[in-house]
Amino acid sequence: MAGVWKAVTNVFADAGMKELYDDLKKVNEVRNKHVAHSEAPLDDPDKATEAMGDWVRCINRMVKIVE
């Protein structure tokens, strides 16, 4: 692997990027199920609180990456 793909692999191999990916995956799953496609209402306060925590953590990780 050479060029830009090697650089991409190196950047995304970082543990911080792995954690960001894990958070993004959770945020995207909630978005797809409860927001964008409205397959199911998000009316459980505990699940909504957890989803909001995941969203805030994800934003915080992205901010730290670009600082």
In a domain, 29, yes or no: yes
Q: How many CB atoms lie within 10 A of CB 57?
A: 16
CA distances from 65 to 5, 11, 52, 58 (A): 20, 11, 20, 11
Q: Does residue 54 form part of some domain?
A: yes
Segments of 1-67 assigned E as strands = none
How many distinct structural domains can be found in the chain?
1
Instruction: Indicate whether 21 belongs to any domain.
Output: yes
Query: Distance (Å, rounded) from C-alpha 55 to C-alpha 67?
Result: 19
> Is 4 inside any structural domain?
no
- Domain of residue 60 covers 15-66
Residue 8 covered by a domain: no
Residue 59 lies in a domain: yes
**46's tokens:** 């505990």
Q: Quick: pLDDT tens for 5-62.
A: 777 677 777 777 788 888 888 999 999 999 888 888 889 999 999 999 999 999 998 8
